[in-house]
Structure 1
Amino acid sequence: MIQCKRAYESPAPDDGQRVLVDRLWPRNCRKEALKLDQWHKELAPSTELRRTFKSGELTFEVFRERYRQELAAHPEYWWPLLGIAEHERVTLIYAAHDERQNNAQVLAEWLEEQLDRQGRQSSPTCYAGERLS
């Protein structure tokens, strides 16, 4: 299971692996208080994409699509989290104010989709006889 949590929320025993997925360290947050297992800066959106979204130049939908393109281009960044998420809870830690429209939510959705894909083979012959919509 993958969940998201703001960096400013207290850690909980059921958080599982706590992974910071922001490129920048959360403001006014001491390292000891955050209690992280990992920090994956490379999983964050590119600096340009983050700045453009934060400035309001992009809608969340456009940000989401561009961030997903960045993730697709670098599976080596997110692939290790799939192995962890198969066996235990992963909590993606982020600093954004908006709890619904942020990079951690997009990443969680992406990872869940990848986990679902692993559940079935993806070779073209596996789709023989299936209707594709």
Structure 2
Amino acid sequence: MSISQSVVLRPTGPVQPLDRRVWGLTAVGVGGFALAGVYTLSGERIGIPCILHATTGLDCPLCGSTRMAAAMLHGDLAAAWHFNPVIFVLGPLVGVAVGYQVVAWALESLRLVKLPRLQLSSRTADRLLNAVIVLLVVFGVLRNLV
């Protein structure tokens, strides 16, 4: 992992593109909060049902995420924690990291300022992804045992 340390006003030259994973996480985050907004505005009638829960009665690691985001939009953090504590913690952490990357890229693309950007090696990114997957699987198993 490396971070470029310089801030440059009115940068010139080529702009380093964002990794496709950053764009993917951006789309998931924006889509998730859009769905939470629709869920809230519809009086909690429109949402995406979990196929695992509908067929087995078990909660997947993401079950409750839409209700969690809707509770966050209402400012009800206790309810948000209740619906899905893992996503309640991971979501904002990932959101801030990804949001910073997108803002830094946008400011540089507009030639306003070049901010330091986090660069993860493929190996580090894979390790982080695997750790999140393990965390979600363990959470999914534990939430169904309790």
Fold match, TM over 0.5? no
Q: Which has the higher helix share?
A: 2
Q: Which has the higher strand share?
A: 1
TM-score by length of 1: 0.31
TM-score by length of 2: 0.29
Larger radius of gyration: 2
